Amino acid sequence: MTDTADAVDRTPSDESGVELDGISVAFDGVTALDDISLSVAEGEFFTLVGPSGCGKTTTLRAIAGFEPPTEGTIRIGGRSVEGVPPEERDIGIVFQNYALFPNMTVRENVGYGLRFRDSPGDQSPAARIDELLDLVDMEGMGDRDPTELSGGQQQRVALARALAPGPEVLLLDEPLSALDAQLRERLRVTVRDIQQELGITTVYVTHDQAEALAISDRVAVMSDGRLEQVGTPEAIYREPASRFVATFIGDNNLFEGTVTDTAPPRATIDGQPFLLPAGSEVSAGESVTLTVRPEAIELGDGDATLTVTVDNVEFLGDAYRLHCDWQGQSILVKTSAWTQTDDAVELGIDRDDVRIILDSD
Ligand code: ATP
């Protein structure tokens, strides 16, 4: 696992909000989480992303106290929570499926958490509920039943209910995945705005890599119960540390070959030389995978020039996506230049747009 140097430092604090130290979880002897260590700073929006079954929910459930780790330590606010039941962990949770109480009004749902905990400050419960409904843009809807709300409104209420007692940490498990695409994009901005306004330490789970990149301070990419890479969205996208991250996060082109020169650094892929970024630390004879994002490839000459045939052209609105064939390998290009199917074109790749993944990564 690589903890990528932050391309943009947006970590709000050095204080630890949530810390996982060597966490493993097994179900009936089958490992679901394998030695997970990560640190979420106080006030940080931290997202766990990865394919189905990689262990995102199990990680969140371990933090919440629903899944006791078989190994390792979890700290919230610097204190170990071993043996502390979920209701005493000072966390608020929002699940995918709303989980509102159907027999309670919106106000009663939001106020539910205040039955067991005092409102923050000296606020009355009623004032706290009003404040929360205002925060999630649901003022005036307090007397409705959950059945009278849209999916997006129900999730706003679920968020208000989780935040009502003023928890130290907010845990969100795929809170938007039951909503349609447009609403999901709007509501993710709302969630981010509210998190920023409150400055609450947040751990967010999603399988949607675009959502993870859009709203997080930092992202942890998970695969098969392990962390693949932790970093800012920019670092994860621009400097993927493994083949898995390079292909799971966004579209990418992968070229497998061998380093043939070190000054200037160069790799040869199927007989075609690719110049590597100056200063690349590679050794001649080393097997490498080069990655190049579709939007970094230009039509025309470059440090490496590939002659390809255009198999397919998709119009995306803001660009064209070309599916090209280069010596039997498919290459994806995102460009504003117009071409048509069966055209033979030159693709230029700038050495600074090449990322190197050593085949041991
Ligand atoms: P999804 O996006 O599908 O929710 P996930 O990344 O959240 O997936 P988890 O739900 O954490 O993944 O599951 C991780 C692994 O642990 C999977 O292989 C899953 O089948 C297994 N698992 C999770 N909960 C249990 C359980 N209660 N009993 C047995 N196995 C479980």
- Least confident range of 65-69, 95-99, 177-181, 232-236: 95-99
Per-residue pLDDT, 181 = 87
The CATH number of residue 146's host domain is 3.40.50.300
Could you tell me if 302 and 214 lie in one domain?
A: no
Could you tell me if 237 and 297 lie in one domain?
A: no
Per-residue pLDDT, 179 = 86
- pLDDT tens digits, 288-331: 999 999 999 999 999 999 999 999 999 999 999 999 999 999 99
Could you tell me if 138 and 180 lie in one domain?
A: yes
- Number of structural domains (the chain) is 2
Element (H, E) at 153: helix 151-163
- Ligand 1 center from residue 55 Cα (angstroms): 6
Per-residue pLDDT, 75 = 96
Are 23 and 36 within 8 A, CB to CB?
yes
Rounded to an integer, what distance in angstroms lies between the CA atom of residue 163 and that of residue 256? 48
Q: Which residue has a Cα nearest atom 18 of ligand 1?
A: 53
Sequence-distant contacts of 32-38: CB under 8 A, at least 24 apart:
32/58, 32/225, 33/58, 33/59, 33/62, 33/69, 33/225, 34/224, 34/225, 34/226, 35/71, 35/72, 35/226, 36/72, 36/225, 36/226, 36/227, 37/72, 37/227, 38/220, 38/227, 38/230
> Residue 274's domain spans which residues?
251-358
Judge whether 111 lies within some domain. yes
**Ligand 1, residues at Cβ distance < 6 Å:** 27, 32, 50, 52-58, 207
Could you tell me if 96 and 144 lie in one domain?
A: yes
Closest CA to 354 of 301, 303, 299, 281: 303
Q: Which of 203, 222, 241 is the last residue of a domain?
A: 241
Could you tell me if 71 and 184 lie in one domain?
A: yes
Per-residue pLDDT, 113 = 79
What is the DSSP code (8-state) at residue 5?
P
* Best residue for ligand 1 mutational test, from 57, 61, 67, 244 (most atoms within 8 Å of Cβ): 57
Rounded to an integer, what distance in angstroms lies between the CA atom of residue 260 and that of residue 292? 19
Could you tell me if 80 and 207 lie in one domain?
A: yes
Could you tell me if 20 and 135 lie in one domain?
A: yes
Could you tell me if 232 and 291 lie in one domain?
A: no
Per-residue pLDDT, 358 = 79
3-state secondary structure string across 186-227: HHHHHHHHHHHHHCCEEEEEECCHHHHHHHCCEEEEEECCEE
Q: Which of 201, 220, 241 is the last residue of a domain?
A: 241
